[in-house]
Structure 1
Amino acid sequence: MSTKTEKPDQGTSAPRRRGLVARFRANFLTGLVVITPISLTIWLIWTLTGWIDSWVLPLVPYHLRPEQYIGINLRGVGVIFFLLFTGVVGWVAKGLMGRSLIGWGERIVDRMPVVRSIYNAVKQVAETVFSQTESKFEQACLIEYPRKGMWAIGFVSTVARGEILQRLPDDEVMTIFLPTTPNPTSGFLLYVPKQDVLFLDMSVEDAAKLVISAGLVYPAPRNGKNGRNNGKNNGKNNGRNGEGDSGRQGESA
């Protein structure tokens, strides 16, 4: 009595292998999406902490460093000293003596041609970046740019005032910041008549995400104009479908 050995079906094993490879690839990419931002965040914090330590610790007296007492070089000690020192400087600068010292120092700097330009530029940037007063864009909008028929996302800064408004022929002119993609910190400052600006319902944060992602991340539609427009479109489509169905029923009758 002879026994026959069954050969594996190669037609079914190949798709299984491809399915396993596809699942592993999908899981691997999902893992990368999870691990990459966490790893980069930890690496940036670790690198920034080490950079601050390398600048601050040499200025700290040796007897004030914790490594002298515990025998371990702790990363981040320089950051703590930097925060404490900066806080003390800010507290002193708010007082009368601090303001007097700052004014006296700025008067000396104003007499130095090159140093004066550098100091004023750095001071202006620092005041803009670290200002405690909230200055945010009012709203996201669409404007026709770079030519008619093409639209770009912009952010409404303010309403044009002063000489700018006096020189322009339109009564209401909006100050629009037009960001670039994918870096929204650079862009163009445009003065656009209000009637040429289409204001968006999406928040400024959602519009910024749309710009940074180069149009890949769209925010969820909000209730309001978008909902009304969708309702109108759905009503029109339903009306057309109803007319088509009634016409077909009449023809069949």
Structure 2
Amino acid sequence: MAALRKWLLSGLLVLVPLIITLWVLDWVVSTLDQTLRILPASWHPDQLLGFHLPGLGVIFALGVLLSIGALASNIIGSRLVNWWHALLHRIPVVRSIYSGVKQVSDTLFSEKGNAFRQALLIQWPQEGMWTIAFLTGAPGGEVQAHLRTGHGPGGAGDEFISVYVPTTPNPTGGYFVMVRKSACVELQMSVDEALTYIVSMGVIVPGGKKPPQPGASSPVPLT
């Protein structure tokens, strides 16, 4: 029975990641194949080829994305995009949704943005307990004014940063918190390595190194 249990667990360790990976890839390809529906029926690849070829939607979606990006990068395309943004901002209901989504996308995908570009080590949810977080920016507006003047939880003059603390093993849920910059530790691991570390609940250590043992020297604060 011990041998059978060992073989069963070994089989699961091999098959489960493979099955989940194939399922996700199938879902992505099937979803992107739906983009072909925007083409006229006479131009549909199934009609031209006489059979369905999976994956053409991925190529089509990539081509559309690259074409829009190339168009938006030149002067004429940039003016058209600005005109489109201005038009959407004049529609009452659409304006609030589009504006919020665009701000988030600009922060996440902009080459000049800081969102999720750096993994940090912070004390959360209380002092003495450490977890991995991601830098998302810095407080602004009224919040920044309260924190800098000492009306908030920090002392006057303390510099704060905004971070996202993901949950384990699902990093899509988490907490947005503002912490003192001096209390954070800048990690050398990449964002992908940090996400893998979080999803695996600390089982997969970035770089294959063993985690520091209790009593080891503490990291250097973020400068």
Scaled by the length of structure 1, the TM-score of the pair is 0.64
Distance 1:25 1:122, change over 3 A: same
Task: Name the amino acid aligned to 1:153.
Answer: T
Give yes or no for contact 1:153–1:207 (8 Å, CA) kept in 2: no
- Structure 1 position 151 matched with structure 2 position 129: yes
Bigger RCO of structures 1 and 2 (CA < 8 A, at least 6 apart): 2
**Bigger Rg, which one:** 1
Q: After the TM superposition, which residues 73-222 of structure 1 pair with which residues of structure 2 at under 5 Å, given as runs?
A: 73-133=52-112, 135=114, 136=116, 138-143=118-123, 145-146=125-126, 148=127, 150-155=128-133, 157=135, 163=145, 166-168=148-150, 169-175=155-161, 177=163, 178-185=165-172, 186-192=174-180, 194=182, 197=183, 199=185, 203=189, 208-217=195-204, 220-221=209-210
Percent sequence identity is 27
Unpaired runs of 5+ residues, structure 1, are 1-20, 232-253
Q: In 2, are the aligned partners of 1:144 and 1:152 still within 8 Å (CA)?
A: yes
What residue in structure 2 maps to residue 47 of structure 1?
27
Out of 14, 22, 43, the position equivalent to 1:34 is 14
Q: Which letter does structure 2 place at the counterpart of 1:39?
A: I
TM-score, normalised by the number of residues in structure 2: 0.71
Q: Tell me how many residue pairs correspond in the alignment.
A: 202
Shift of 1:127: 2.2
Letter paired with 2:177: L
Q: 1:201 to 1:47 in 2, by over 3 A?
A: closer
1:141-198 Cα shifts (integer Å, max 9, x gaps): 242633x5x413143736778636522325443426333333334223132362xx37
Q: Which amino acid aligns with 2:52?
A: N
Aligned equivalents of 2:66 and 2:10: distance in 1? 42
Name the CA shift for 1:129/1:38 in 2 (closer, same or farther; >3 Å).
farther
The alignment's C-alpha RMSD in Å is 3.3
- Higher helix proportion (structure 1 or 2): 1
